[in-house]
Protein backbone atom coordinates (compact mmCIF):
# COMPACT_ATOMS: atom_id res chain seq x y z
CA UNK A 1 0.00 0.00 0.00
CA UNK A 2 1.31 3.45 -0.93
CA UNK A 3 2.25 5.66 1.98
CA UNK A 4 -0.07 8.60 2.68
CA UNK A 5 1.37 12.04 1.94
CA UNK A 6 -0.90 14.43 3.85
CA UNK A 7 1.31 17.53 3.88
CA UNK A 8 0.11 19.42 0.81
CA UNK A 9 0.34 23.11 1.75
CA UNK A 10 3.15 25.53 2.50
CA UNK A 11 3.31 26.21 6.23
CA UNK A 12 4.80 29.40 7.69
CA UNK A 13 6.69 29.71 10.95
CA UNK A 14 4.34 32.39 12.29
CA UNK A 15 1.35 30.12 11.65
CA UNK A 16 2.95 27.31 13.63
CA UNK A 17 3.71 29.70 16.48
CA UNK A 18 0.12 30.93 16.48
CA UNK A 19 -1.09 27.31 16.62
CA UNK A 20 0.95 26.90 19.81
CA UNK A 21 -0.32 30.20 21.23
CA UNK A 22 -3.91 29.03 20.81
CA UNK A 23 -3.12 25.87 22.81
CA UNK A 24 -2.68 27.98 25.93
CA UNK A 25 -6.22 29.33 25.70
CA UNK A 26 -7.91 26.03 26.60
CA UNK A 27 -10.13 26.09 23.50
CA UNK A 28 -12.51 23.40 22.36
CA UNK A 29 -11.94 21.92 18.91
CA UNK A 30 -14.63 24.13 17.35
CA UNK A 31 -13.27 27.23 19.09
CA UNK A 32 -9.73 26.41 18.02
CA UNK A 33 -10.85 25.96 14.40
CA UNK A 34 -12.75 29.24 14.47
CA UNK A 35 -9.78 31.19 15.81
CA UNK A 36 -7.39 29.53 13.37
CA UNK A 37 -9.73 30.23 10.46
CA UNK A 38 -9.95 33.88 11.47
CA UNK A 39 -6.17 34.18 11.81
CA UNK A 40 -5.33 32.43 8.53
CA UNK A 41 -8.00 34.29 6.55
CA UNK A 42 -5.88 37.45 6.59
CA UNK A 43 -3.36 35.70 4.31
CA UNK A 44 -5.31 32.85 2.69
CA UNK A 45 -8.38 33.75 0.65
CA UNK A 46 -9.27 30.36 -0.81
CA UNK A 47 -11.59 28.43 1.56
CA UNK A 48 -10.14 25.12 0.37
CA UNK A 49 -6.53 26.17 0.89
CA UNK A 50 -7.41 27.68 4.26
CA UNK A 51 -9.09 24.47 5.42
CA UNK A 52 -6.17 22.28 4.29
CA UNK A 53 -3.65 24.59 5.94
CA UNK A 54 -5.64 24.71 9.19
CA UNK A 55 -5.93 20.92 9.28
CA UNK A 56 -2.17 20.48 8.86
CA UNK A 57 -1.54 22.90 11.73
CA UNK A 58 -4.08 21.14 13.91
CA UNK A 59 -2.67 17.70 13.18
CA UNK A 60 0.71 18.97 14.35
CA UNK A 61 -0.46 20.94 17.38
CA UNK A 62 -4.02 20.07 18.40
CA UNK A 63 -5.59 16.76 17.36
CA UNK A 64 -5.11 13.78 19.68
CA UNK A 65 -5.28 11.25 16.84
CA UNK A 66 -1.65 10.19 17.25
CA UNK A 67 -0.97 9.06 20.84
CA UNK A 68 2.71 8.46 20.01
CA UNK A 69 3.32 12.21 19.88
CA UNK A 70 1.15 13.39 22.81
CA UNK A 71 4.06 13.73 25.24
CA UNK A 72 6.35 15.07 22.53
CA UNK A 73 3.83 17.79 21.63
CA UNK A 74 3.33 18.82 25.26
CA UNK A 75 7.06 19.12 25.84
CA UNK A 76 7.54 20.93 22.53
CA UNK A 77 4.96 23.57 23.43
CA UNK A 78 6.57 24.13 26.83
CA UNK A 79 10.03 24.31 25.26
CA UNK A 80 8.95 26.95 22.74
CA UNK A 81 7.75 29.04 25.67
CA UNK A 82 11.14 28.76 27.39
CA UNK A 83 13.37 28.86 24.30
CA UNK A 84 11.55 30.93 21.62
CA UNK A 85 14.80 31.47 19.71
CA UNK A 86 14.68 27.81 18.73
CA UNK A 87 11.05 27.74 17.62
CA UNK A 88 11.95 26.74 14.04
CA UNK A 89 13.93 23.71 15.21
CA UNK A 90 11.11 22.59 17.52
CA UNK A 91 8.43 22.98 14.85
CA UNK A 92 10.72 21.14 12.43
CA UNK A 93 10.82 18.17 14.79
CA UNK A 94 7.05 18.18 15.28
CA UNK A 95 6.48 18.20 11.52
CA UNK A 96 8.85 15.23 11.24
CA UNK A 97 6.99 13.36 13.96
CA UNK A 98 3.54 13.92 12.43
CA UNK A 99 4.28 13.74 8.69
CA UNK A 100 6.60 10.94 7.47
CA UNK A 101 6.89 12.61 4.07
CA UNK A 102 8.38 15.71 5.73
CA UNK A 103 10.85 13.53 7.64
CA UNK A 104 11.84 11.60 4.51
CA UNK A 105 12.33 14.73 2.41
CA UNK A 106 14.47 16.24 5.17
CA UNK A 107 16.55 13.05 5.32
CA UNK A 108 17.12 13.17 1.57
CA UNK A 109 18.04 16.85 1.72
CA UNK A 110 20.48 16.07 4.52
CA UNK A 111 22.17 13.32 2.49
CA UNK A 112 22.45 15.58 -0.54
CA UNK A 113 23.78 18.48 1.54
CA UNK A 114 26.52 16.27 2.97
CA UNK A 115 28.20 16.11 -0.44
CA UNK A 116 26.78 19.08 -2.35
CA UNK A 117 26.65 22.79 -1.59
CA UNK A 118 23.43 23.12 -3.59
CA UNK A 119 20.26 21.03 -3.33
CA UNK A 120 18.30 20.89 -6.57
CA UNK A 121 14.61 20.14 -6.73
CA UNK A 122 15.11 17.66 -9.57
CA UNK A 123 17.67 15.67 -7.56
CA UNK A 124 15.47 15.70 -4.48
CA UNK A 125 12.35 14.53 -6.34
CA UNK A 126 14.25 11.77 -8.12
CA UNK A 127 15.44 10.31 -4.82
CA UNK A 128 12.02 10.83 -3.23
CA UNK A 129 10.28 8.93 -6.04
CA UNK A 130 12.69 6.04 -5.53
CA UNK A 131 11.38 5.67 -1.97
CA UNK A 132 7.74 6.70 -2.31
CA UNK A 133 6.90 6.01 -5.95
CA UNK A 134 6.12 8.66 -8.54
CA UNK A 135 2.71 10.19 -7.84
CA UNK A 136 1.20 13.54 -8.73
CA UNK A 137 0.19 14.15 -5.09
CA UNK A 138 3.78 13.52 -3.99
CA UNK A 139 5.15 15.93 -6.59
CA UNK A 140 2.78 18.64 -5.38
CA UNK A 141 3.57 17.89 -1.73
CA UNK A 142 7.33 18.01 -2.34
CA UNK A 143 7.02 21.54 -3.74
CA UNK A 144 5.02 22.66 -0.68
CA UNK A 145 7.44 21.01 1.75
CA UNK A 146 10.40 22.72 0.08
CA UNK A 147 8.52 26.01 0.48
CA UNK A 148 7.89 25.16 4.15
CA UNK A 149 11.57 24.34 4.71
CA UNK A 150 12.41 27.71 3.18
CA UNK A 151 9.87 29.44 5.47
CA UNK A 152 11.56 27.77 8.46
CA UNK A 153 14.83 29.42 7.43
CA UNK A 154 16.72 26.23 6.53
CA UNK A 155 17.39 26.96 2.85
CA UNK A 156 17.55 29.93 0.49
CA UNK A 157 16.93 29.96 -3.24
CA UNK A 158 20.01 30.63 -5.36
CA UNK A 159 18.09 30.23 -8.62
CA UNK A 160 14.81 28.56 -9.60
CA UNK A 161 14.88 24.94 -8.42
CA UNK A 162 18.22 25.28 -6.60
CA UNK A 163 18.74 25.91 -2.90
CA UNK A 164 21.63 26.52 -0.52
CA UNK A 165 21.47 25.21 3.04
CA UNK A 166 21.40 27.72 5.90
CA UNK A 167 23.07 26.22 8.97
CA UNK A 168 21.75 27.19 12.39
CA UNK A 169 23.43 26.52 15.73
CA UNK A 170 21.40 25.13 18.63
CA UNK A 171 23.23 25.79 21.88
CA UNK A 172 20.67 25.07 24.60
CA UNK A 173 21.08 21.46 25.87
CA UNK A 174 17.36 21.15 26.57
CA UNK A 175 16.55 21.98 22.94
CA UNK A 176 19.23 19.58 21.67
CA UNK A 177 17.81 16.77 23.82
CA UNK A 178 14.31 17.41 22.44
CA UNK A 179 15.57 17.37 18.84
CA UNK A 180 17.36 14.07 19.41
CA UNK A 181 14.32 12.56 21.07
CA UNK A 182 12.12 13.54 18.10
CA UNK A 183 14.68 12.32 15.57
CA UNK A 184 15.09 8.97 17.33
CA UNK A 185 11.31 8.51 17.60
CA UNK A 186 10.89 9.34 13.91
CA UNK A 187 13.81 7.18 12.80
CA UNK A 188 12.55 4.17 14.74
CA UNK A 189 15.90 2.62 15.64
CA UNK A 190 16.71 1.00 18.98
CA UNK A 191 20.16 2.22 20.05
CA UNK A 192 22.29 5.02 18.65
CA UNK A 193 25.97 5.69 19.14
CA UNK A 194 26.99 9.21 20.00
CA UNK A 195 28.35 9.52 16.47
CA UNK A 196 24.91 8.61 15.12
CA UNK A 197 23.26 11.16 17.39
CA UNK A 198 25.46 13.89 15.96
CA UNK A 199 24.58 13.07 12.35
CA UNK A 200 20.84 12.62 11.85
CA UNK A 201 20.25 13.43 8.18
CA UNK A 202 16.78 14.83 8.94
CA UNK A 203 18.30 17.45 11.26
CA UNK A 204 20.76 18.60 8.61
CA UNK A 205 20.32 22.40 8.98
CA UNK A 206 20.92 22.36 12.74
CA UNK A 207 24.38 22.23 14.26
CA UNK A 208 24.52 20.94 17.82
CA UNK A 209 26.72 19.06 20.27
CA UNK A 210 25.60 15.92 22.08
CA UNK A 211 26.84 15.27 25.60
CA UNK A 212 26.24 12.28 27.83
CA UNK A 213 25.47 14.63 30.69
CA UNK A 214 22.65 16.27 28.72
CA UNK A 215 21.04 12.96 27.84
CA UNK A 216 21.38 11.45 31.32
CA UNK A 217 19.82 14.49 32.96
CA UNK A 218 16.89 14.61 30.53
CA UNK A 219 15.07 11.49 31.68
CA UNK A 220 13.82 10.36 28.27
CA UNK A 221 17.02 8.49 27.42
CA UNK A 222 18.79 5.35 28.55
CA UNK A 223 22.58 5.42 28.27
CA UNK A 224 24.39 2.13 27.93
CA UNK A 225 27.68 0.73 26.67
CA UNK A 226 28.21 -1.79 23.88
CA UNK A 227 31.77 -2.94 23.35
CA UNK A 228 33.08 0.05 25.25
CA UNK A 229 31.12 2.52 23.10
CA UNK A 230 28.46 4.66 24.70
CA UNK A 231 25.01 4.40 23.14
CA UNK A 232 21.61 5.96 23.78
CA UNK A 233 18.06 4.71 23.45
CA UNK A 234 14.68 6.22 24.20
CA UNK A 235 13.29 5.18 27.57
CA UNK A 236 10.14 3.09 27.32
CA UNK A 237 7.00 4.75 28.69
- Residues 59 and 20 placed together within one structural domain of the fold: yes
Final residue in a domain of this structure, among 152, 171, 190: 171
Structure confidence by residue, pLDDT tens digits, 117-156: 899 999 998 998 888 877 777 888 889 999 999 999 999 9
Give me the domain span that covers residue 193: 172-234
- Residues 132 and 99 placed together within one structural domain of the fold: yes
CATH number at residue 44: 1.10.3540
Structure confidence by residue, pLDDT tens digits, 64-73: 888 889 999 9
- Residues 179 and 74 placed together within one structural domain of the fold: no
Average pLDDT in the chain: 91
What number is the average pLDDT over the span 199-210?
94
> What pLDDT shows up at residue 2?
40
Ranges 69-83, 103-117, 128-142, 167-181: which has the least confidence? 128-142
- Residues 111 and 191 placed together within one structural domain of the fold: no
d(CA 79, CA 57) in angstroms, rounded, equals 18
- Residues 40 and 69 placed together within one structural domain of the fold: yes
- Residues 129 and 65 placed together within one structural domain of the fold: yes
Final residue in a domain of this structure, among 155, 171, 187: 171
Q: How many domains is the chain built from?
A: 2
- Residues 178 and 157 placed together within one structural domain of the fold: no
> What pLDDT shows up at residue 5?
59
- Residues 144 and 215 placed together within one structural domain of the fold: no
- Residues 215 and 134 placed together within one structural domain of the fold: no
- Residues 149 and 176 placed together within one structural domain of the fold: no
- Residues 145 and 190 placed together within one structural domain of the fold: no
> What pLDDT shows up at residue 1?
33
- Residues 184 and 152 placed together within one structural domain of the fold: no
> What pLDDT shows up at residue 105?
94
> What pLDDT shows up at residue 100?
92
Amino acid sequence: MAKAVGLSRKIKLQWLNKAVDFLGEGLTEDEYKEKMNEYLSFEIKSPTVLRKTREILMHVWFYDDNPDITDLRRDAAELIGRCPDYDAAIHWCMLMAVYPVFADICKIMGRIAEFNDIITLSMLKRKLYDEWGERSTLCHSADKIIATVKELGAIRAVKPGSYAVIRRRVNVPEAVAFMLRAAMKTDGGSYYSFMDLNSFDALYPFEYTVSGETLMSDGHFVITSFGGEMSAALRSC
